[in-house]
Each structure stands twice: as C-alpha cells, then as structure tokens.
Amino acid sequence: MAASIHGTKPLRIAALFHARRIVRKSAKAAFRLIPKKAKASSIVFWVVIAFLFAPLFVLILYSFNASRSGEWAGFSLVWYKKLFLESPELWRAFKNSLAIALSSAAMATVLGTLAAVGTARYSFKLKSYVATMSFIPMILPEIVVGVSLLVFFAGIGLKLGMISVWIAHTTFNIPFVYLLVSARLEESDPTVVEAARDLGASELQTLFKVVIPMALPGVASAFLTAVTLSLEDFVITFFVSGPGATTLPLYIYSMIRFGLSPVVNALSAVMVAGTVLLVYPMRNFLKVFASN
C-alpha cells in the first residue's frame, strides 16, 4: 500500500495535502482545548506543572520496564516483586525512618508545645532567647546544622547511630512545632484560660483541660509536620547517622550512587502514589487555606 502511494506523484501530493489538512484540523482542535480567556499566566502554569510531573511519570513508566537498562523491553512487575519481597534492607531502612520520625516528632512536639504555651501566656526573662533560638535553625543552611552536630557528637564522644539521628531530628523539628503551636495559641481566646484560673483550676488542670485542648489542631498539625520533615530529611541525617541507623533517604542515596536501580523506580512509584493518596483527600482543606 505505502509503496503505491509513494510511487505515483499525484497521489503523493494528494496525500501531502491530506496530511496538511489533518495537521491543521488537529491544531485547531488543540487550540480549542485552551479556554478562550486563557491567560499567559495560565499557560505558564500548565507548562510548569508538566515540567514538575514529567520526571515522576518517567520513573513510574520505568518501574514497569522488564529491562534493567533504559531501553523499553516490555511490561513487567518484576521490580515491584523485588521491592516488596526481596529487599529486606530497604524495609529495615524504612522501619528506622518511621521509628525516628515518630519518636523525634513526639519529643519535639512536647518540648515545642510547652515552650509555646509558656511564651503565649507569660512574659519572662528567657522569652526572647526562646524566640530567637527557634528562628535561627530555620534560616541556617542544613549542611551547617549537620556538620556542627557531627562535630559536637564527636566532641562529646557519642557514637553515631539511632540516638544521634533522633537528637538531630528532634532539634530541627522543634522550631517548626514551636511556631505552629504559637500561631494557633495566638488565635485562641486568652479570657477562657483566665476564666479557668479564676474558677479555681490549678495550673496543670488549666494546661491539660483548657490550653492543650484549645491548641490541639495546632499541636496535631505540628506533630504531622515534624513526622514528614523527619521522613524527608537527607542532608542532616547523612552527617549524623552511623552503622545500623540507615534511614530510607540514606538507603535510596546509596542505591543511586551505584547507578540506576529499577527497584528505586518501583519504590519511587509507590512513594508518588502514596503522596497523591495522602494529599488528594486534603484538596478541600487546601481551598480553605487558600481563601484566608
């Protein structure tokens, strides 16, 4: 068929015209997809979204590739099988990550919440010190925090391992907890607390029955933030981690250093899916956030 079209000149010209018409038509159709009042900023936005998602799609595509190399060799679930059934080290790293995330977030939440309650309700000598100390870690490059902690741990003779990672993660989580809970307490009504005190509640009763319940949404979001920051951290952990304390990011890093690894593709696909499943149900909260 193809040979006969290309063989005779008039037919070739006709085919060319036909092709041009198809191109023109589909261009028009594509153009119609852009809403009439589309603004330049909107076009930039969608291009950026494509840019942000393209790498993730490539990873997901590769995770189903039967071949180890970049060449497509057919659909396969072999890397998922490897990931879930034959990667005990990876899951150990995942467990380490989870343990450190939960424990460091818990510690940071306790310390940060108490400090936030203290600074919100009282004025005292340490107040500006606490505020400053909660500000500086956030604007310092991570590498400086990591190196200084490494040097510190070496100085006091603490062996690098789970404990040192836990200390480091608690340290970088505290400022976030402190600020989130402070912001929440600022919005709540101070007269309620005073009323509780006037009606004879002790300081501890006020704390546990009035102040903390009022600040609970802030405390909860602070805890979750701390968990995610801890799960995500690579640079600081890289410096303060030791044998037996490999976290998931560190494990991924070591796999990447050995070149492309299809198991990482499968893991990445699972993590991207997890992120989508986590964020999508919250899309309406995003709107609430956006409107205020």
Partner 1 sequence: MKKNYGTAYAAPQALWLTVFFAAPLLIIIAYSFLKKGLYGGVELEFSLRAYTDMANPTLLRVALKTLWVSLAATVATILIALPCGYSVARSQNQAIRLFLVIVPFWTNFLVRIYAWIAILGNEGFLNQALRFLGFRPEGYQFLYNQGAVILVLVYMYLPYAILPLFSTIDKFDFTLLEAARDLGASRMQSYIKVMLPNIRGGVVTAVLFTFIPIFGAYAVPLLIGGKDSYMLGNVIADQVTKTRNWPLAAAISMTVTLITAIAVFLFALKKPKEHLEVADVDPASIGHDLLVSKVRVKTMHKKGGER
What's the min distance (Å) between Cβ of 150 and partner 1? 6
Structure-derived torsion over alpha carbons of residues 158, 162, 166, 172, reported in degrees to the nearest 10: 80
Give the residue with the Cβ less far from partner 1, 11 or 34: 34
Separation of alpha carbons 90 and 265, rounded Å: 13
What's the min distance (Å) between Cβ of 155 and partner 1? 6
Give the residue with the Cβ less far from partner 1, 17 or 53: 53
What is the CB neighbour count within 10 angstroms for residue 142?
A: 16
What's the min distance (Å) between Cβ of 11 and partner 1? 26
Q: What SS3 state is found at 75?
A: strand
Give the residue with the Cβ less far from partner 1, 11 or 220: 220
Give the residue with the Cβ less far from partner 1, 78 or 114: 114
What's the min distance (Å) between Cβ of 9 and partner 1? 26
Give the residue with the Cβ less far from partner 1, 17 or 208: 208
What's the min distance (Å) between Cβ of 13 and partner 1? 26
Q: How is residue 36 written in tokens?
A: 């009439």
Closest-CA residue to 93 (of 83, 80, 108): 83
Give the residue with the Cβ less far from partner 1, 85 or 156: 156
Instruction: State how far the alpha carbon of 248 is from the alpha carbons of 100, 185, 217, 231, in Å.
Output: 11, 34, 29, 8
Q: What SS3 state is found at 157?
A: coil
For 65, list phi and psi in degrees, rounded to 5.
-85, 130
What's the min distance (Å) between Cβ of 125 and partner 1? 7
- C-alpha 48, offset from chain centre: 19
Beta bridge partners of 65: 75
